[in-house]
Every structure is written in C-alpha cells, then in structure tokens.
Amino acid sequence: MNSQVSKPKPTPNLYLTALITGSLTLAQSVIYLVLCIVALISRFDCNVGAPDSVSGSGYFLNIVYRAYIQDSACANAINVDGITGDYSVFVLVAITLSAAFVSLIAAIILMSAVTSDGLTPYLSIIVYGYVGVYVASLAVDITLAAHFGMDYSFLSSFLNESSPGLSLNYERDMIRIGAFILMTISLKAFIGHIINIVLIVLLVMYLILYTEILDKHEHSIHKLGAIEAYDSRRPREPSHPNQRDSYQPPRGPQMNYGYMNDEEAIPRSPMRDGLRSDYPRNGFDRSNSWQLGPGSAGRPFSYLEEGKRPMPVPVRPPASPAVEPSWRDPWRANAPPVPAPDYSPTAPRRLKSALKSGYM
C-alpha cells in the first residue's frame, strides 16, 4: 500500500484566476517588448523623421518621435526645454523592456504551475513571486507615466499663457497630445492595470484558501494513507505482555496471569523426591507407625515418649594440636642482643594535694 498521498489540485477559482491574469500579463508583455525594441532601434537612425518625407497624416507621429525618441544629436531632433529628454526616455524604455521580459517569464511559470502536477507543491512560491514581479513592473510603468504626465502638465500651462495663432503653438500642442498618449500607453491604457490588480487580489485570496485545504490535508491522520479493510498484516504485539509502561497507564480490560480458578484448576499430586536406595526405607517411613504390632499393647500416642529416649552421643572430631599464634617476628640468630621489652605496669603516680602546707 502506498502511504504517500498526492496533494490536492488547485481549486477551480484559483485555476481560472491564474490563467486569466497570466494570459493578460503575457499579452501585455509581448506588446511592450515589441514597442520597446522598436523605440530603441529607431533612436539611433537620424534619417527617420525628415520633414520633407512626412505626409499630412504622419505629421503627428513625426513630431512625437523627434521630440522623445530620436537622439538629440540628430539634425531633425526637436529639443524643447522643460520636458523629458530623449536620453531619460531611452533609460526608462530599457528598464521597461527588462520588466516586460521578466513579467513574460513569470506569467508562463504561473500558468504552468496551475496546469501541471509537477509544480503544484511550489504553487505558493510561484504565486507570490508573480505578484512581486507585477508590483515591480507596475512601479516602472508609473515612473515612466509620471514623466510624460509632467510634460503634459507643463505644455498645457505653456499653451495657456502663449498668444493664439502662433505656428510654434501648433507644434507644442502636438507634443502635448503625444505626451498624454505615451502616458496612457505606459499605464497600459489604465484599464489593463486595473483588471490585473483585481485579478491578483483574487488570486491571493484563493491561494490562501487553497493553503488552508493543504494544511487540513497534511494532518498526521491523513499521512497514513488509505486503510485497507482486508489488510493481512497484524499489528506488532509487545514481547512482554505483563510488562507495563510506568509512563502510560493500562487501558481497557487487563488479564491477571497469576489468577487461577479453583473450579477449573487441575489437581496436582505433591511432588516428593524419591528415596535413595542406599538408605533404609524403614528409618524414614513412618506411615505405619500408628498401627499396632502383633505383640504390643495399644500406644496411640507413642510419639510423646520419644523425648524419654536416650539421645545419641555426638562424635567430636579429633582436636588439632594447639599452635600458639606468633604476633611478632622471630629473633634472628646473627642479630645483636636486644633486651627483652618490659611490659610490666608502672607504679601509679602519686598526686600531690594543693591543701598541704608545702604549697602554701
């Protein structure tokens, strides 16, 4: 039996929301990749946008391109003081290109995670990573749109203060409208980011619910897997049934192996050691001592007279010769003569009384 249980698949709400937001981000990233690459390539072409080669319908795009995209070193470039320069636009477009590329990869990984089982364990990490990439991309878009928004506000103030009928005002008005359009494109027409933000909020909510389902599914009781009703394996029994755990009290009915029912007990004969053959049986067999002999009178209490019988004299073993223990070393023959020590008690010391006249 397989003890490993596969994780549950994403919920339908999480699955649908991830596919919609991933597809929307994927489409927007592809469009922005194309626009950024075209803008970066066209920047260094000074022949593009010559006033003589522009018709009436392309005059607006020509003015916007020469004011924001074309290098200021080109002869046809339009340099207007107070608006975002071409180099700043170049740096911001390069950053937008990088953000679009990362968003494209994040959207592909997100859609792969909800459609394939291999990336399901990493769904939480992928979703939060996708949210982080989107927030970074949104910050880049807001920065680029803020530059074009400030240009639009500056040019609007300039036109309000200038005199009407000047030919220069017409060119400034084209640049002002172009700044507003670029600001709208940078924010993905406003509606793109609004839809994506709502989808991302729903995505995070559904992910939290899915995580709670995983927590319940990963409980310890579920990790054991499905239990087979006809499992032939028996539980492991302890080797010592009488041994109790001092930390866990016994539960349920317990069997006392030392108890024996007297009614069901098997009668047992007393076990006696067999008599040895080298000893006389009559000396130990007293089973017939109460019976009367043929010529003896009745003595029912003959055992009371056993105390009057003479007791056998015990035989003592021969005494061993007494050897005086030697507590000191014997005298050596060649040693110098040493006087024998005198162990006699000394005379008791006479105490002098302090009341005698000799001490006065």
217-224 average pLDDT score? 57
**Residue 250: C-alpha distances to residues 236, 239, 246 (Å):** 17, 16, 9
Q: What is the per-residue DSSP string for 33-57?
A: HHHHHHHHHHTT-TTTT-GGG--ST
Alpha carbon distance 120, 136 (integer Å): 25
How much of the chain, in percent, has pLDDT values that exceed 70? 59
Where residue 240 falls among pLDDT bands split at 50, 70, 90?
low
Residue 355 structure tokens: 């009341």
pLDDT band at 120; cut points 50, 70, 90:
confident
Least reliable range by pLDDT among 78-87, 183-192, 255-264, 272-281? 272-281
Reported as a pLDDT band with limits 50, 70 and 90, residue 166 is: confident
Task: Look at residue 199 in the predicted model and tell me its pLDDT.
Answer: 97
CB 40 within 8 A of CB 204: no
pTM (global) more than 0.75: no
Lowest-pLDDT range of 11-15, 71-75, 291-295, 325-329: 291-295
Q: How many other C-beta atoms are found inside a 10 Å radius of the C-beta of residue 96? A: 21
Give the mean model confidence (pLDDT) for residues 266-280: 54
Output the pLDDT for position 243. Answer: 54
Between 86 and 52, residue with greater pLDDT? 86
Confidence at residue 38, expressed as pLDDT on a 0 to 100 scale: 94
Q: Residue 123 has which token pair?
A: 């769904």
- Cβ-contact 159, 173 below 8 angstroms: yes
Of 31-45, 166-180, 222-236, which one has max mean pLDDT?
A: 31-45
Report whether pLDDT(141) > 70.
yes
Q: CA-based diameter of the chain, in Å?
A: 175
Q: How far apart are CA 157 and CA 13, in angstroms?
A: 49
Q: What is the mean pLDDT of residues 223-252?
A: 54
pLDDT at 161 (0 to 100): 85
Q: Indicate if the pLDDT at residue 82 is higher than 50.
A: yes
- Per-residue pLDDT, averaged over 76-87, amounts to 90
Could you report the per-residue pLDDT of 307-323, keeping only the tens digit for each? 556 666 676 766 666 65
The pLDDT confidence band at residue 203, using thresholds 50, 70 and 90, is: very high
DSSP state string for 209-239: HHHHHHHHHTSTTTTT-PPPTT--PPPPPPS
Supply the pLDDT for residue 149: 96
Q: What is the CA radius of gyration of the chain?
A: 59
Give the mean pLDDT of 104-114.
95
Residue from 187, 200, 190 nearest 130 by CA: 200
Which pLDDT value is given to residue 276?
52
The span from the CA of 118 to the CA of 114, in Å, is: 9
Residue 84: CB atoms within 10 Å: 20
- Sign of the alpha-carbon dihedral angle for 286, 288, 293, 296: positive
The Cα–Cα gap between 176 and 211 comes to: 49
Residue 62 has pLDDT above 70, yes or no: yes
Which residue from 188, 51, 52, 56 is spatially nearest to 65, judged by alpha carbons? 51
Q: Which residues contact 305 (CB under 8 A, 6 or more apart)?
A: 299
Q: Where is average pLDDT lowest: 15-24, 218-227, 247-256?
A: 218-227
What pLDDT, on the 0 to 100 scale, is given for residue 2?
A: 43
* pLDDT(257) > 90: no
* Cβ burial, residue 92 (10 Å; 0-12/13-18/19+): buried
pLDDT tens for 274-309 read 545 555 555 555 555 555 555 555 555 555 555 556
Q: Note the pLDDT of residue 282.
A: 53
Q: Which of 3-17, 63-77, 283-297 has the lowest mean pLDDT?
A: 283-297
